[in-house]
Structure 1
Amino acid sequence: MRLSIDVLLDYFVDDSAEVLLQIEAAAMADQRLEQQDLRVYCDNPLRAMSGEEGIGQRTWARASGSFQAEYRAVVAIDRAPVDLSSLPPTAMAELPAEAIPYLLPSRYCESDHFEGFVQSEFAGLEGGALASAIGDWVRENLTYASGSSSGVTTAMMTFADRRGVCRDYAHLLVTLARAGGIPARCVSAYAPGVDPPDFHAVAELWLAGGWHLIDATGMAKCGEIARVAVGRDATDIAFMTVFGTATMYRQVVKVTRLDDAVRNGGVG
């Protein structure tokens, strides 16, 4: 699967502030960057560094007044579908160092408050069978509602409200997985078919020696997701963090399946 990605961020930054961007698709074994171009319009030099776990790239900019960023890329994804329910459990003592932090509670994923619920709701399940059941539960018990949450909404609040956006679905899935002893992290991503079109958030769970993507909203297939960044929760994967105040004028995220675009006469 090949994806065309086109992003525009158009903001006004009050006074002067540091801006941290995470909008570039990550170069990884299962997703190859065929083309990539990031342009940031500001008066100060940029500074780039690796993202969490060495995945993706963070870019620092200092902005004052008008601030724009444009990103375009073509990403080839080579990721075979996996039947999660068939994957065996991994004993905690056998987990690699990289997975252990993702067993622990974090700011938006209060997994220590959900252990009793997971034990009762998913009794007898472990490993991939538990992961698959949790993904199904989140998908079936939440309602996707734009504007129903905010930047302070936690997994516990989403669990109580039973509605949210992709970030909330990812937070709750990650939280329940951690409560069940499965390392889980949040992933910012690009994917076609996301409605409304925007930066997308999914979950990634450690099973059978590797990370496996799950989109609890059901909008994105595993083989059509291009990772941008990974982290404990939305704090680590935000596409743009302003250390000050800013006003959004315009934000556009367009992700197109190139094969579909060719059949329909080209990329518009």
Structure 2
Amino acid sequence: MRLTIHTQLDYWFSRPTDVLLQFEAAAIPEQAVEASHLDITPTDHFARVASQDMIGERMWVRVEGQLLVDYRATVRIERMIEDCLDLPVIPLHQLPGETVQYLMSSRYCPADQFQPFVEAEFGGIQDGAKVIAMRDWIAERFSYVPGASDSETTALESFVRRQGICRDYAHVMITFARAAGIPARIASVYAPGVEPPDFHAVAEVFLGGAWHLIDPTGMAKAGDIAKIGVGRDAADVAFLTAFGTAVMNSQSVQVETG
């Protein structure tokens, strides 16, 4: 699978502001960035830094006034896809150290508050089948409603409302998995067929000794996804984090196959 990506951002900063950007497809073994080109407004400072778990890169910029970004890339997906259904849950004491942080509650994923519910609803299901049951539970009961949530909405609020956007679906999936003792993290991605076209968020769960992509919205398939970055929740993978006031003039994301 080959994806062609075109992202445009247009933001305004009324005063000098430090901004952390993360929108480029990651160059990692499961996907090859065959071509990429970035045009960005000249800024007072520009530096690349490693992203979480060394998946992809972030960019520090310091900008005042208009920030224009035009990013184009061609990415070939080479991900090995496994059926999660029969993959084993790794016992906690055998988990590698880098996965441990993804067992813990985080800003948007209060997993400790969901342990009684997850045990009652999914406790009798074993291994990867438990993850699939969680995914299907969310898909069947949630409605995808743009504008139903905001940057402060947690998995608990989404669970109560039974609606949200991709990040809300991912947060609930991550929260369920962590409450069951399964490491889970968020992945920001590019994927074709996302409606409305935008940056997309999915969950990744650690089963059978490897990470596996799960999209409770059903809009993206693991073999069609280009990862941008990963983290504990949406706070770690925002495409633009402004340490000051930002005004969005416009933004667009286009992802096509072929």
Settle same-fold status: TM greater than 0.5.
yes
Q: CA deviation at 1:13?
A: 0.8
Amino acid at match of 1:80: M
Name the SS of the counterpart of 2:134 in structure 1. helix
Partners of 1:211 and 1:73 lie apart in 2 by 24
Amino acid at match of 1:253: V
Residue matched to 2:178: 178
Residue matched to 1:48: 48
Residue matched to 2:17: 17
Residue matched to 2:249: 249
Are 2:87 and 2:208, in contact at CA under 8 Å, matched by a contact in 1? Answer: yes
Q: How many residues are matched?
A: 258
Are 1:184 and 1:204, in contact at CA under 8 Å, matched by a contact in 2? Answer: yes
| Moved >3 Å (runs of 4+) | none
- Asked whether 1:209 is paired with 2:209, we answer yes
Q: CA deviation at 1:129?
A: 1.0
Are 2:45 and 2:63, in contact at CA under 8 Å, matched by a contact in 1? Answer: no
Q: CA deviation at 1:193?
A: 0.2
Are 2:11 and 2:66, in contact at CA under 8 Å, matched by a contact in 1? Answer: yes
Name the SS of the counterpart of 1:99 in structure 2. helix
Partners of 1:85 and 1:166 lie apart in 2 by 22
Residue matched to 1:128: 128
Name the SS of the counterpart of 1:46 in structure 2. strand
Residue matched to 2:190: 190
Are 2:30 and 2:80, in contact at CA under 8 Å, matched by a contact in 1? Answer: no
Partners of 1:14 and 1:101 lie apart in 2 by 37
Cα RMSD over matched residues? 0.8
Amino acid at match of 1:220: A
Residue matched to 2:61: 61
- Asked whether 1:2 is paired with 2:5, we answer no
Partners of 1:117 and 1:2 lie apart in 2 by 40
Q: How do 1:27-106 and structure 2 match up within 5 A?
A: 27-106=27-106
Partners of 1:28 and 1:121 lie apart in 2 by 36
Amino acid at match of 1:219: M
Residue matched to 1:262: none
Q: CA deviation at 1:69?
A: 1.1
TM-score normalised by the chain length of structure 1: 0.95
Partners of 2:211 and 2:43 lie apart in 1 by 39
Partners of 2:24 and 2:75 lie apart in 1 by 11
Q: CA deviation at 1:106?
A: 0.2
Amino acid at match of 1:78: E
TM-score normalised by the chain length of structure 2: 0.98
Are 1:24 and 1:57, in contact at CA under 8 Å, matched by a contact in 2? Answer: yes
Residue matched to 1:264: none
Instruction: For structure 2, list consecutive stretches of 5 or more residues without a partner in the other structure.
Output: none
1:195-228 deviation per Cα after TM superposition (whole angstroms, max 9, x unaligned): 0000000000000000000011000011001000
Residue matched to 1:239: 239
1:50-81 deviation per Cα after TM superposition (whole angstroms, max 9, x unaligned): 10001100001111111111111000001233
Amino acid at match of 1:75: V
Q: CA deviation at 1:88?
A: 1.3
Residue matched to 2:155: 155
User: After the TM superposition, which of the residue ranges 186-195 and 79-88 deviates more from structure 2?
Assistant: 79-88
> What is the aligned-residue identity percentage?
49
Amino acid at match of 2:123: A
Partners of 2:126 and 2:115 lie apart in 1 by 13
Amino acid at match of 2:79: R
Partners of 1:199 and 1:14 lie apart in 2 by 25
Amino acid at match of 1:114: F
